[in-house]
Structure 1
Amino acid sequence: MTCGTLPAVDKFLCSFQRRLPGHLAGIDDPGHAKTIKLYATWRVLPRLRARAERSHITPSVRRFAAEQIKHATAFLYWLGERDTNLASCGQIDIDAWWTENTEHGRTCLRAFLNWAIQTRRCPRLLSIPAMKVSRRSALSDDERLDALGRLPTDTRTPMRPGSPESSCSSTRSP
């Protein structure tokens, strides 16, 4: 790949593709496995490939793609526990999932639900609740300078393992 003989391949894209069959094999319901495979093949992987063509896929992008698959799988099982399925899923089911799950879980499921609606695997009249975008207010100059002043001496500030700062710590394990 370095010499240009082989096309460049993104290692995180390969990692995702390598782990997908294991996830699919772990799904007990063949219908769920088929739905997740279709979703991964036609929605998640094309987006990862497009991202890899534009720039490198970061570990967090790869992790989010895996989380989308994980939450879509969990949603299908959750529907089964409610004695329903994706084809008969109603707005009450979507709303119940939204109230029972975290913002991250809802964000991860959003693409699956959009895909399911677009491909007519669930009712087209479903409404997916809007994402909440919350931003903290910016620190004032005094607050920012105060935080920067505490940074070198505050023992509660997490250090990245292997960074030069963490090697100065007396609690470092061998």
Structure 2
Amino acid sequence: MSGVLDPRPHLGEPLALDLLNTRWMTADEPQDLLHDVAGLDSWLTTNTLADRCRSDEPTLRALRHAREAILTAVRIGSTEFDDLNDVLAHAHIRRTLTATGPVDVPEVPATEWLPGWLAADNLLHLLADAPHRIKKCDHPRCILFFYDTSKNGTRRWHSMSTCGNRVKAARHQAKKT
């Protein structure tokens, strides 16, 4: 297990969006958690996948590919799904019945694809349930995504305490000048 804490400003989104949020902006420059294997290990640990997935270069490359495919698929108006379908083609679901009920088990022959496949599969579930609830933060300098769980579905920022307050403060400052 990694000793590296996850440094990202926004955690806890569904797996597909959490993968997108491995890129974020600081005041000065873009950050990328998946720039090395240590960052991959941190992401796997945060998402309770460290015991199921290897932290190595092949997994890192596959996960970066999955991240780009998911990003392309969630862009507004996108009809480019070939890359996402490519990620999904790396596994299939085996359905079984257990004492506790039906279970879907992903079978991933090339294990480096497991975390990316799980994220891509999660995106399919989000799209099937409520695609309009997958949103990019409305702050102009923010690149984070979130799943809008607000009652009326009108949430605009990944975090009201950061991006929402920044927008409101900027509006207030503009009114003063």
Which TM-score applies when normalising by structure 1?
0.29
The structure with the largest helix share of the pair is 1
Larger relative contact order (C-alpha < 8 A, sep ≥ 6)? Answer: 2
Which TM-score applies when normalising by structure 2?
0.28
The structure with the largest strand share of the pair is 2
